[in-house]
Every structure is written in C-alpha cells, then in structure tokens.
C-alpha cells in the first residue's frame, strides 16, 4: 500500500441512540467517530492501539476541535475521512472530515492532537524509541514533519 498522503475512510451508519430530541446526531458522538477514524488509520498502516500499548507507548488526546456544518440524522450513512497532518517525535495531529455518503455533504470537520507517552505518562520520543513506526507515520502524513 502506498501510504504517502494517506486518507483513511470509515463508514458509519447513524444509530438511533446517537441522536438527540431534535433528531440530529448529538455533538459528542462526532468525537467518538473521530476516534473510529483515527483507530482505522493506524490499523491501515499496520499498527493497532493494542500493539502500541504492548510496546509501552500510548497516545493521549491533549486537544480536540470540531466544527459542525450540517446535521447527520438517524440512519444516515456517513464517511469519516482521517488524515495525519503532523508526525513528530513527540506528537501526532489528525484531521477529520465527516461527510454524508449519499450526497457527499460535508457535515463536520475537526482535528485532534496527541502526544506520545509511556505507561508512566512521561513523554516519549518516537523517532528515537521506535524509528520504524515513526518512519511509517511520517511517510503517511499530508505535511511531512520530523
């Protein structure tokens, strides 16, 4: 797989429980969908969060932002497009677009910032500790950074 400028795509059908009294997706569910996209992205590159944890590293979230543009409703099928726009030895930045599948209307955009830490929650330099994994992530980003 060519991972340069990689974009992961995750298909989600809106469940009834994800909607509010107005019949639209409740805002916090988009953050769950971002996590689904991010997890798919790392899986697509050959690494699961479980494997990362076995290596002794984790990626806690330190910032998340979502911009809501149009509502998703029950039973809509949406696609979460996920890209990694920065991979450095200390952090990753993911960007997201959520679109309704049937008409490709952009529903939400957002980003999340994560830092590499060990099990003691101390920062880890991935470039030094896991150079192969780091190289894979850098190769997949839309904006190359080291």
**Among the ranges given (96-100, 118-122, 141-145), the one the predictor scored with the smallest mean pLDDT:** 141-145
Longest distance between any two alpha carbons in the chain, whole Å: 50
Q: Are 3 and 83 in contact (CB under 8 A)?
A: no
From the options 3.30.559.10, 3.10.129.10, 3.30.1490.20, 3.40.50.720, give the CATH code of 8-140. Answer: 3.10.129.10
Q: What is the pLDDT of residue 146?
A: 42
Q: Which residue has the higher pLDDT, 46 or 4?
A: 46
Confidence of residue 72 (pLDDT cuts 50, 70, 90): very high
How do the residues of the chain divide into helix, strand and coil, expressed in percent and rounded to 5?
Answer: 25, 35, 35
Q: Count CB neighbours of 64 within 10 A.
A: 16
Query: Tens digit of pLDDT for each residue in 114-125?
Result: 999 999 999 999
**Among the ranges given (13-22, 84-93, 137-146), the one the predictor scored with the smallest mean pLDDT:** 137-146
Catalytic residues: 20
| Structure-block tokens of residue 47 | 């690494």
The ranges assigned to domains in the chain are 8-140
Hey, CA dihedral for 144, 45, 49, 84, is it positive or negative?
Answer: positive
Mean pLDDT of the region 1-26: 89
């Amino acid at each position: 797989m060519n991972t340069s400028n990689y974009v992961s795509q995750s298909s989600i059908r809106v469940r009834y429980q994800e909607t509010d009294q107005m019949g639209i997706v409740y805002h916090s569910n988009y953050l769950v969908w971002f996590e689904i996209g991010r997890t798919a992205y790392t899986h697509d590159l050959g690494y699961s969060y479980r494997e990362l944890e076995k290596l002794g590293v984790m990626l806690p979230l330190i910032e998340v932002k979502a911009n809501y543009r149009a509502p998703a409703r029950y039973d809509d099928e949406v696609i979460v497009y996920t890209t990694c726009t920065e991979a450095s030895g200390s952090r990753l930045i993911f960007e997201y677009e959520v679109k309704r599948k049937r008409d490709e209307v952009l529903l939400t955009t957002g980003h999340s910032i994560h830092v590499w830490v060990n099990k003691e929650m101390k920062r880890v330099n991935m470039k030094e500790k896991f150079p192969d994994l780091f190289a894979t992530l850098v190769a997949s980003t839309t904006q190359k950074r080291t």
